[in-house]
Homo-oligomer: A and B are copies of this chain.
């Protein structure tokens, strides 16, 4: 098996963007090629992580459009969809393409264009991933989040404020991320007093609707130095699935697919949770940061909230989580989010994260599809 290096990374500004998904993908793709000084003609495989360009824009075949726009013909192209975990799934596909020897230069571009739709329309597209048996009752992902948050607070005697503190922390981090959608701090009162969306969760417990794109370039580690001295490696990667019917899970506060996928990723990397120096978790809703931080083994079950209360996951804490600002402040363009997590960790591991820089040799990203229906975990390391 080829060991796989990440030799280039980019992301566009996240937020309300003009243009089509094609424009966003091409912007991130070109920036990534530039970052690594790689010619588009050297790209052998080109993956696009995207959930729903057909539903959002009436456009499909966007990997072909991207290969065309970048001048990367005749590269093999493919779209990777695993709903909101499409980015992590794209990293896994890219890893497999290089590790199997099928490609010596793989580019992944993740992206989504959403803000031209209303929040209700966008939420409906996302809700199409739920099981029809739940969907017909009007369930959406925010409503799952509300139910789960209520259960978590009850089960583990956690204060409502602990959830709000995830938002406060991640907004604070986002201030220093030039690509983030929201670059402003919010205080605890603002979160706690914001409008209720799915009780007990309020507006500031939710990530926004976002346009954006991010890209990565992968090659065998044996060839990485031909391009750059500043590369990282994927030391562990895996994915797993949980029940499609959310209410069938034995314990809704346990994110089974995050547990399973991180176990496999740790095994592959020969690492354990204590080795991780920095992590990007999929904080689509504040509650999800708690659930993942426990499922990937950073904290015991029901203890994730305490870590946030105690500042352990702050940028200057023992285990910084979501130094990028997370989905909460950076934004969540579905197919881009998992790729942008890896972009942040790549910057951190290379010491190029500017004001967000922490001390890190080993990094972990957890990208979640649906309400934990499918999760990919990626472990990246400095070289």
Contacts and interface: CB of A to CB of B under 8 A. Distances in A.
B128 A244 contact: no
Interface of A: 1, 20, 46, 51-52, 54-55, 58-61, 63-65, 67-69, 72-83, 89, 92-93, 95-97, 99-102, 125, 128-132, 238-245, 256-257, 260-261, 369-370, 373-374, 376
A370 B89 CA distance: 24
User: Which of A52, A81, A93, A125 counts the most chain B CB atoms within 10 A?
Assistant: A81
B83 A60 contact: yes
Given A61-B369, A101-B99, A89 B83 contact: no
Majority SS at the chain A contact face = mixed
A50 to B, nearest CB: 9
B64 A374 contact: yes
Contact of A242 (B63, B73, B100, B261): B73
A120 to B, nearest CB: 15
A369 to B, nearest CB: 7
Contacts of A67: 241, 244
Contact of A244 (B64, B80, B97): B64
29 contacts: A20-B132, A52-B60, A54-B54, A54-B128, A55-B60, A59-B132, A63-B82, A64-B129, A64-B369, A67-B244, A73-B242, A74-B240, A74-B241, A74-B260, A75-B241, A76-B92, A76-B238, A76-B261, A77-B82, A77-B374, A78-B93, A78-B239, A79-B81, A80-B81, A81-B81, A93-B93, A96-B96, A96-B97, A99-B102
A77 B67 CA distance: 25
A366 B64 CA distance: 18
Contacts of A131: 65, 68
